[in-house]
Amino acid sequence: MPEGDTIYRTARALQRAIGGKVVTGFETGLAKLARVNDDTPLVGRVVEKVESRGKWCLIYFSGDLILVTHMLMSGSWHLYRTGERWRMGRDKMRMVIRTADWEAVGFNIPVAEFYTANSLMRNSQVPKLGPDILSDEFTVESGVARLTAYGREHPDEEIAVVLLNQRVMAGLGNVYKSEVAFAAEVNPFRSMRTITAREMEVMVEFAQRYMKANVADGVVGEGIATYSGNRRTTHAMDREERLWVYGRQGEECRRCGAVVMMRKQGVQARSTYWCSECQPWVGDGVAPVGKSLIIRQGRIGR
């Protein structure tokens, strides 16, 4: 599923393929984009840059036009050489940006809109984002400051829900949420009032470390391809052992051998995975219990 690392790699690949190139063709099945293109055509504009901000991808064109996209759960950008056969059906195409050598095709992208620099600041969600964990400017200190400030105003909010809040820090998704909490030995259902400064620091450190590891450059050949392997946090090469807890309900914890549990969390009822032994409960009341039906026995490892 697209999280901040996926969008970062997407933007990097698009920048390498079409950045600095003249648009020779544009096609879309989205009425809002078509109307803008009819009034101010993309053909003849230069792709000035492509960048990611959290889970958003921004494509800047000359003449003050910005295409902003969000993949949600199913969207993706593909790159094809001119004339190369697409790997997905045309019915799933939402937009195509053509240059002399490349076609950038957006498939199943549910959120896409054109902005100017001014309208982007006034009317989009992008300016409301917290600091991007993958940006060069991001620091552990800035991440801790954001968590601290948010926790002060929302002391009863559960930490895993806060890690998903893009206005606090941008880029973390459901996979990293569970993995970061596990790495820091923090129960994901603890309220912000129980989280210590040191625990915040460790979570931010792991968030930055994991995400940077999963965007390590994988340039080959002509320099367009970037890392596209399985997301991993354990350093294991086996694809079945690449994550600590996410998606491992009922399996053995790789650290202690206890059973990994899953429970829906937050207003959006997102699945959260954790180990009750490695991530002990701190706070009032009874510790949350999740589903722990054993699916299969896994091998304990580190």
**Mean pLDDT, the chain cut into blocks of 10 residues (302 residues total):** 88 96 97 97 98 97 98 93 94 97 97 97 94 96 98 97 97 95 97 97 96 74 51 59 89 94 93 96 88 57 34
Q: What are phi and psi of 60, to 5 degrees?
A: -95, 125
| Burial of 90: CB neighbours in 10 Å, binned 0-12, 13-18, 19+ | exposed
Contact 138, 132 (CB under 8 A): yes
In the numeric block, which tokens belong to residue 227? 């890392």
Interatomic CA distance for residues 155 and 158, integer angstroms = 8
Whole-number pLDDT of residue 300? 39
Residues 6+ apart with CB under 8 A from 90: none
pTM tops 0.85, yes or no: yes
Contact 96, 26 (CB under 8 A): yes
The conformation of residue 253, written as its DSSP 8-state character, comes to P
Nearest in space to 290 (alpha carbons), one of 266, 244, 259: 259
